[in-house]
Structure 1
Amino acid sequence: MVKFEQIKGFVFDLDGVIADTSVYHAKAWRQLAEKLGVTWTDELADGLKGISRMDSLDLILKTGGIENKYTEAEKEAFAAEKNTNYLNLLKDMDATAILPGIADFLKDLEEHDYQLSLASASKNSPLVLEQLGLAMYFKNKIDPTTLKHGKPDPEIFARGAEVLNLKPEECVGIEDAKAGVQSINGAGELSVGIGDKNILSEADINFADTSELTLENIKKALD
């Protein structure tokens, strides 16, 4: 495993790591699902976590048994409608949505001259960071429109290291989803999983929640 002294950069997932935007995503998807006559369940909500917009829509349609009912153009329109719903809900988001300990952790990383990048496939991530008051930490972001593959493919985390001009082994990837941890591992970075260690068993380091995410705790875990 990598030594703590080798670490130069941190590549962050956004939802579930920096802030809980999944609440807003879930509300927006639920609005669309109910409009389409698809029953909303906790299982469906869980299945949508960490996957792309079009994959999420496909899962909703499949759950309702209506995956072959709509054209690609209609599906694109549904995805756009969901995004509009989401952006309207986001207007209420502020710094109170930052997950416990994250603001202090980002400040600490900056003070210790670590480089930071954001590995979010969301085109709305710049807006979310602005709303949270954290945009200044993430000058290095990946352009999601240039990505060819979604998680668990390693592309997004590999690009997270690239934009920092660092080798993968010099970076720590932080995720709260199984597909995200697989993406980090595939990219050859040190993976930190936030959440249930049974679900995130492939992570190199696991913390129960973001409040445990500190440089000191990462160092302890590596020692």
Structure 2
Amino acid sequence: MLLPKGFLFDFDGVVVDSKESHNSAWSSAFKELFDTEIAPFPKSLSGKSPMLISEYFCSLIGKKNQTEDLYFLKDQHLDSHFKVPILLPGIHEITNFLSEEKIPYGIASNATKQFLKNSIHHLNLNFSIVFGLQDYVKPKPAPEAYISLANALNFKEEDFDNIWVFEDSLTGTNAARLAGMMPIGITTNYSTEELKEVGSVLTFPTVLEAYQYLKTYKN
């Protein structure tokens, strides 16, 4: 059987475990801005844009009017107090495999571009085409992120249904589905049942198992 024509990757929860990186930046920015501790991070915000996350935390303390202040300060803390995220299994293996097979791939994330660049540099990752929050008018769950990345990889719309999209969040899975692509769930944040309910065609614990499946699929 033929391999898919392309592979698109979300970043947080798929390529890296970045919870500590983001949570630390949210916490320190919130403390600096409001001189109080931030609330626990709910799973329902996983994969959502930083502006929506900022709005959520500000609303909890009646400071919704300072949503943008927290958003920009968190971005500054994420950069100035940068914590290298933890690389998840299978990323080097699958990018080497795709390069050997000459299959285009890239990243489209709701994370900021600077965080993506910093992480890719520090982890020595082989991703040359990377889209971040600043590249979209409408971030995920809108399909723009994945459509923009697919276009940058020179895919036509008729190719979209043969492109795999690795996603760990319901937000991103919806974006891939709305783009007309094949969402592939990574169960770092949500269960197989939860991801399949919103459109995941297959699920794997990490990208490593997906890579192993693809090698068998190819043979």
TM-score, normalised via structure 2 length: 0.84
Distance 1:118 1:158, change over 3 A: same
Stretches of structure 2 that go unaligned for 5 or more consecutive residues are: none
Give me the identity figure in percent: 24
- Please name the residue that 1:156 is paired with: 145
Following TM superposition, by how much is the alpha carbon of 1:39 offset from its aligned partner in structure 2, in angstroms?
A: 4.5
- Please name the residue that 1:51 is paired with: 48
Aligned: 1:138 with 2:127 = yes
Residues 18-167 of structure 1: pairs in structure 2 closer than 5 A: 18-35=15-32, 36=34, 37=36, 39-41=38-40, 44-67=41-64, 70=65, 74-90=66-82, 92-93=83-84, 97-121=86-110, 122-124=112-114, 125-134=116-125, 137-142=126-131, 144-166=133-155, 167=159
Cα deviation, 1:81-129, whole Å, max 9, x if unaligned, reads 1112112332x427xx210122111111111111111112322212221
* Structure-2 separation of matches of 1:47 and 1:181: 13
Aligned: 1:194 with 2:189 = no
Following TM superposition, by how much is the alpha carbon of 1:218 offset from its aligned partner in structure 2, in angstroms?
A: 4.3
Measured on the aligned residues, the alpha-carbon RMSD in Å equals 2.4
SS of alignment partner, residue 117 of structure 1: strand
Cα deviation, 1:14-38, whole Å, max 9, x if unaligned, reads 1111111222111111223344235
* Structure-2 separation of matches of 1:174 and 1:156: 13
Contact 2:183–2:201 (CA under 8 A) maintained in structure 1: yes
- Please name the residue that 2:7 is paired with: 10
- Please name the residue that 1:173 is paired with: 165
- Please name the residue that 1:203 is paired with: 200
Count matched residues: 207
* Structure-2 separation of matches of 1:39 and 1:129: 28
Stretches of structure 1 that go unaligned for 5 or more consecutive residues are: none
* Structure-1 separation of matches of 2:131 and 2:38: 35
Contact 1:57–1:79 (CA under 8 A) maintained in structure 2: yes
Contact 2:105–2:153 (CA under 8 A) maintained in structure 1: yes
What amino acid sits opposite 1:217 in the alignment?
Y
Q: Which moved more, 1:158-167 or 1:80-89?
A: 80-89
Runs of 4+ more than 6 Å apart: 219-222
Q: Which moved more, 1:144-153 or 1:184-193?
A: 144-153
SS of alignment partner, residue 213 of structure 1: helix
* Structure-1 separation of matches of 2:185 and 2:71: 29
* Structure-1 separation of matches of 2:204 and 2:8: 16
TM-score, normalised via structure 1 length: 0.82
Contact 2:113–2:131 (CA under 8 A) maintained in structure 1: no
Cα deviation, 1:176-216, whole Å, max 9, x if unaligned, reads 101111111111111101002122122011112333121x4
* Structure-2 separation of matches of 1:66 and 1:179: 25
Contact 2:183–2:200 (CA under 8 A) maintained in structure 1: yes
